[in-house]
Structure 1
Amino acid sequence: MASLPAVDPSLSLYRLLDPAVLADPYLLYGRLREEAPVVWDPYLHCWVVTRYDDVLRVLKDFSADRTPSPEFMRALGLGEIEPLAAVMVKQMLFLDAPAHTHLRKLCSAAFTSRRVEVLEDEIAAIADELIDRVRPAGAMDVIRDFAEPLPAIVTAHLLGMPRADHQQLKAWSADFAQMLGNFQHNPGGVARVVKSLADMTAYFRSAIRQETRPLADGLVKALVEAEVDGARLSEDEVIANIIVTMVGGQETTTNLIGNGLLTLLRQPAKMAELKARPEVMGSAVEELLRYETPSQHTGRICHTDTVMGGHVIPKGAAVMAVMAAANRDPRRFADPDALDFDRADNRHLAFGWAAHFCFGAPLARMEGRIAFRALLDRLPGLALASEKLVWRDNLGLRGLTALPVSFA
């Protein structure tokens, strides 16, 4: 067994706080994969895992039940974030079996493939509507004008909430995502996230109790009514899992569209190929998910002393599985830094794996296919209007603050 080596500070994921590293984290990920594929990061106080096989093992075998209880947070003197813990301990994302299995069965009964399939025409119509608004100008910010409103409107429709509420739902989602995606402490942001959580909870509780209008057909109503083996979700469980579904659905899809289009704009030959070969759009979306993974990393807890990469990860240790690094591992993907729409066996980890595989993945994939097709077909001469791009300071949910483009 190799002894724990001295840690090179330049290999810490904390370097993502540097805007230059955040703009291109793949150099850092590549060094980690080759020099320290399993490493204790003293700055984050967790183990970091970056090779595909190891990340896959962490996703499959390690514990997702990593959220401290509200009581524990209060005992630490962190009562201000107690409301966040109270919600997160009820979300599938942070649970193991049997609690996770129970919740996922109930949510899956509501989030059916049929419910997603019938949205296809609606999504295409929304995409066309958003493009119609900007075409006369010959320019737009893809994030503000398309990549954010498209999944926000779709999510409102999916939930059964009024379309007019989509901007508010998006704002709440973005606030909650800042807490989900970051590992740095941000005292100034806590109050805002807690306020957004309180407002979201009140909004969905009012909808469930039909305080202002009958509950429309949609995922909220389906979750309220879902029953498996005589069991139903409590009101708090419905709200907690609606929130995480809403956040995941909006943030992942916004970043898929923004990151993916930037990749195509920077590789004009690949964009031309995708225009000429519409039949490969499905595999192209998978490749864009692999190449610029919207959800870069996720946390787990080691359930028992585990040997990995020549080290013993002790029971109870926090582990950061970096899916974005695994998705460019040359041991798993040939020529991983190349964009290849014909890549065979593209089993990327952008949506996680095993029990916690994102059950909203079919919807995100559909939105991606429709979005890229609409943008490429309806905006001839699409080009990047500025190279001065800023990445969001969300270190786990990778996306741009803006993507200015011009078109004919």
Structure 2
Amino acid sequence: MPENPYLTRVRTLSDRLVAIQKPIQILDAIKWPNHIQETFFATGEKELPKIDREFYKQQALSFDDQKVYGELLELRRDIKRQLGNKDGLGRILLDTVDQYLVVIDMLRHRGEPLFGESSIRLYGSAHEKLRGDRKTLREVGERLCAIFSSPAVEHLKRPYANDIPACQAVDLLARKLHTYFNEGDIKVMLSNGIVSDAAAGGDTIKLNESAMFSELDLQVLEVHEGWVHVGTTYNGRAQPYATWLGVGSPRITANQEGLAVLMETLTFSSFPIRARRISDRVTAVAMAEEGANFIEVYNHFREKGISRHDSYRVTQRVFRGGMVEGGAVFTKDISYVKGFVENVNFIKSAIESGVPEILPMMFVGKVTLDDIPILYQHYLEGTIAAPQYLPPMFRDLNGLFVWFGLSSGMSLVDMGSVKRHYRKLFDKLPKTAPLFEASADIEIN
């Protein structure tokens, strides 16, 4: 059959975008060396880290920003000329190119106020309202922090110790993932160059070689990094024309991280400390945006009883690339809570609107929720390929439909009145240990 000129243009423009953005490494450009943490603790946690504009100037970018910026502008002109502003796939491409232009502006201003302004354009602010709601992200984050730091959490603790060294965790996690992915499609490896305990990139999951893991951690990594981050990468790479769906720009971060947290929840892999850690990130971003400096944010978490290591980690994530004095920070960490809420609302809305069949498209690649109706239409036309790697509850939608259908129906209930009713009963309960104690002898399969 003769080639479709439109699809040829989409594929050519998409491939150009994939190639142009490849050398842009945001997290690599803003990372802090390990000695910054060591110095902070050695000086009694009283001195701001020695990170400023001059520090970042000495950390060269991994790409020629002038050259890449020019290539993006040229690609933008070609997309508008060849696809036009009214074409659905063309609009997604244009939005993605525009995001990378802002990324370059952000990285050019590391350690400066403009870094924070660009970060908000890319990832949003902790003070913005959720899509279609009156609540701000900070309000939601604070509410979640209160829930996941309540005394009741102590009653749920089980003896899942962090006693699995990274070298062993690599093999255990690889074994788990090989039941979901085709053989050879995913790699799990050690790394000494990541800030977090684990990170996914392309078809690889990296574990921090100095970290220790629990069985619960590995369950989270299996669905969060594996099923979502790597799975959507492969689904995007398998696209015959929209090849940009295999790479992620900041515009898709909230959807990706929110979907990953949602999968942790749907598979009962998460746990209160993990949920608290994610909620704390919103508070950290909000405080830093309001002008709190590194030490003030760090001390806030120490006063909440969080360890030195974890308090430093959540604070460092927010201030990397920005100003340790506060005001201009890296706001990406609001994406987990923001994306979770928006993904749940999207699923509920799709079910209530009678179009649950679009839900598997959440895994078709690196997408935003606004992209999905456009991509679904092109899927029906044969332009977009169905996702190959799809979690079981999204492959057979019956259980998902019932779960979120019931959840939507429950929204009619006056929970304030219900809680007041049950509180009278709960207040009479003695403060005891959990009914069931988990065995201390846990076998890791």
TM-score, scaled relative to structure 2: 0.25
> Which structure's relative contact order is higher, taking Cα pairs within 8 Å and 6+ residues apart?
1
Structure with bigger gyration radius: 2
TM-score, scaled relative to structure 1: 0.27
